[in-house]
Amino acid sequence: MTLPAGLGLIDLHAHVLPGIDDGAADLDDSLAMADQALEDGITVVCATPHIHDDHDVEIDALAGQVDALNRVLRDAGRPLSIARGGELSAPLAARLDDGTLRAVTLGGSGRWVLVEPGPGPMDGALDECVDALHERGVRCIVAHPERHAGADAAQRLTALVERGALVQVTAAFLTGGHGAAPVMLDWAAQGLVHLVASDAHSSRAGRPLAIRAGLDALLSVPRLAAHGTWIAREAPAAILAGDDVTVPF
């Protein structure tokens, strides 16, 4: 099953802010990424700069930078909205105070945070991070587990999902003969994949700001086939609004 035509997609993971981290190099790059998004049918992009010791992102400035890009997009006639967010490095999470943590939640709602596992395969430290964030009232979305997959990845994801985390995979890795695709589709068949994102960093290299082809690949999994609208729109919208999310599959 493919996605309904005209459904405005939401990408919850993109490095679209100009000159912030290793994402868009400049405003022209951001605008070109916005055009990629619109071409793909995306209407909302969550800006998720790296909140990581390797990147000197000024968290206090992010809201203003999102507002500025939205103004540029509006003035340029691009019908795309940028939402606030961040991609929080798991090892860093415990060091953020509550106000700073809230500033990097998706949509700025204080409810959902995108967590990047620490380097290497997922391990118990990620479980502890998720538990600690949940105890602080912030729900976790685990970013690109396919990049942190050890031999026990499915068991790791099962434990994270049982803890209440959602799992987000990278759209481009679901298509184009990528080696991880069968593994990701197997996870999806087990109910361990809930969201698809571009994790785009630039219009000039790497993955485009697009998710539709990856979503279509994911919807080839029978368990998910009837849930394209939920995955592409309803769940991401609820997350940006800070609402609860109940997985329907």
Task: Compute the least distance from the CB of residue 156 to Fe ion, in Å.
Answer: 19
- What residue type is assigned to position 213 of the chain? A
* Residue closest to Fe ion (Cβ): 199
Of 15 and 227, which has the nearer Cβ to Fe ion?
15
Task: Using CB under 5 A, count the residues that bind Fe ion.
Answer: 2
Question: Considering only 87-95, 130-138, 161-169, 180-188, which stretch makes contact with Fe ion by CB under 5 A?
Answer: 87-95
- The tokens for 115 are 């967590």
Show contacts with Fe ion in window 88-147 (CB under 5 A).
Answer: none
Q: Phi and psi of 219, rounded to 5°?
A: -75, -5
- Cα three-residue angle 74-237-134, rounded to 5 degrees: 125
> Is 11 among the residues that bind Fe ion (CB under 5 A)?
no
Strands (DSSP E) contained in 3-65 are 9-14, 42-47, 50-51
Of 109 and 170, which has the nearer Cβ to Fe ion?
170
Of 12 and 138, which has the nearer Cβ to Fe ion?
12
Distance between start and end Cα atoms, the chain: 15
Q: Kindly tell me which residue out of 33, 199, 230, 245 binds Fe ion, with binding defined by CB under 5 A.
A: 199
For residues 101-129, one letter each, b for 16 or more C-beta atoms within 10 angstroms of the residue's C-beta and e for the rest, the string is bbbbbbbbbbbbbbbbbbeebbeeebbeb
Of 134 and 147, which has the nearer Cβ to Fe ion?
147
Q: Which distant-in-sequence residues (6+ apart) come within 8 Å of 207 by Cβ?
A: 170, 171, 172, 198, 199, 200, 201
Task: Compute the least distance from the CB of residue 22 to Fe ion, in Å.
Answer: 9
Question: Considering only 25-33, 52-60, 191-199, 217-225, which stretch makes contact with Fe ion by CB under 5 A?
Answer: 191-199
Question: Considering only 26-34, 38-46, 53-61, 81-89, which stretch makes contact with Fe ion by CB under 5 A?
Answer: 81-89
Q: Kindly tell me which residue out of 11, 29, 40, 87 binds Fe ion, with binding defined by CB under 5 A.
A: 87
Q: Is residue 114 a contact partner of residue 48, using CB atoms and an 8 Å limit?
A: yes
Q: Is residue 192 a contact partner of residue 166, using CB atoms and an 8 Å limit?
A: no
Task: Compute the least distance from the CB of residue 247 to Fe ion, in Å.
Answer: 22
Of 48 and 81, which has the nearer Cβ to Fe ion?
48
Which residue is it, tokens 């086939």?
A: 225
- Provide the mask over 147-186, with x wherever binding to Fe ion is found by CB under 5 A and - wherever it is not: ----------------------------------------
Question: Considering only 4-12, 148-156, 160-168, 194-202, which stretch makes contact with Fe ion by CB under 5 A?
Answer: 194-202
- Cα three-residue angle 103-91-164, rounded to 5 degrees: 70
Q: Which residues make up the interface to Fe ion (CB under 5 A)?
A: 87, 199
